[in-house]
Amino acid sequence: MKKQFFVEGDADAKFLHDLIFYWYGINTSIGKQGNENSDILIIGGKENLLKLWGTIQRNSILDIYSIIIFDADIFVEESLKLESFKKQYPFQFFLLPDHHKNGDLESLLIQLIHPNHQIILDCWDTYETCLSSNNQYTLPARKTRIYAYMEALVGSSGKEKEKIKEAKRDYLNSFHWNLDAEILKPLKTFLDNYFIV
């Protein structure tokens, strides 16, 4: 049976695209609203999900699985909201990082960094500790930590710096990311339902 994934942003789409290729050898297409035939559809944030109920209903009629993969943020709240929507619309969902805890894609990615590069995040932690010691500063978002991690790993040319961007990251690069990490097992188990017959 065919399937279509709904994700929040570029980083989520590229990450899911690379995971599906890594685990199942399938190259998926990525699109945005207006390109509803893509395997992975970027909806631009959870607040836009309601605009896609027509697509999810169409998928149900055409025997296409609709699968939502969002950030948990606060897991209990997000899970209850989506379970409530499931009473009206046919879809399945998984909340990052592991469908149990609060968090998001970035909190998952932090756990996937290659152990040889842990020093980058250790340095970042020192930076955040320094900032938090003075309450006049705001701590950078977790996304910034991932950008800093990637920037420290890639070269300084414009072409190399392109690899930092969310839609251009190569999660298949085993020198940067560990896609065999334990934290990914719940997501792998969830996706196996749609890729392993």
Q: Read off the pLDDT of residues 173-196 as tens digits, 9 standing for 90 and up.
A: 999 999 999 999 999 999 999 998
Residue 150 sits in the same domain as residue 133:
yes
- Asked if residues 28 and 39 have their Cβ atoms less than 8 Å apart, the reply is yes
Name the pTM for this structure. 0.94
97, 103 Cβ separation under 8 angstroms: yes
pLDDT band at residue 89 under the 50/70/90 scheme: confident
Amino acid at 130: C
**pLDDT tens digits, 95-137:** 999 999 999 999 999 999 999 999 999 999 999 999 999 888 8
User: Same domain, yes or no, for 30 and 45?
Assistant: yes
Q: Are residues 191 and 96 located together in one domain of the fold?
A: yes
84 within domain boundaries? yes
Count up the domains in the chain and report the number.
2
Top pLDDT among 94 and 35 is at 94
The yes-or-no verdict on residue 37 having pLDDT over 90 is no
Same domain? For 16 and 87 the reply is yes
Before 97, cis peptide (omega within 30)? Answer: yes
Q: Domain range holding 188?
A: 2-103+183-195
Check residue 157 and give its pLDDT: 85
Residue 178 lies in a domain: no
The reply to whether 99 and 130 lie within a common domain is no
Sheet holding 40-42, edge to edge: 30-32, 40-42, 2-7, 64-71, 92-96
Both 24 and 70 in a single domain?
Answer: yes
Task: Return d(Cα 39, Cα 109) in angstroms, integer.
Answer: 22
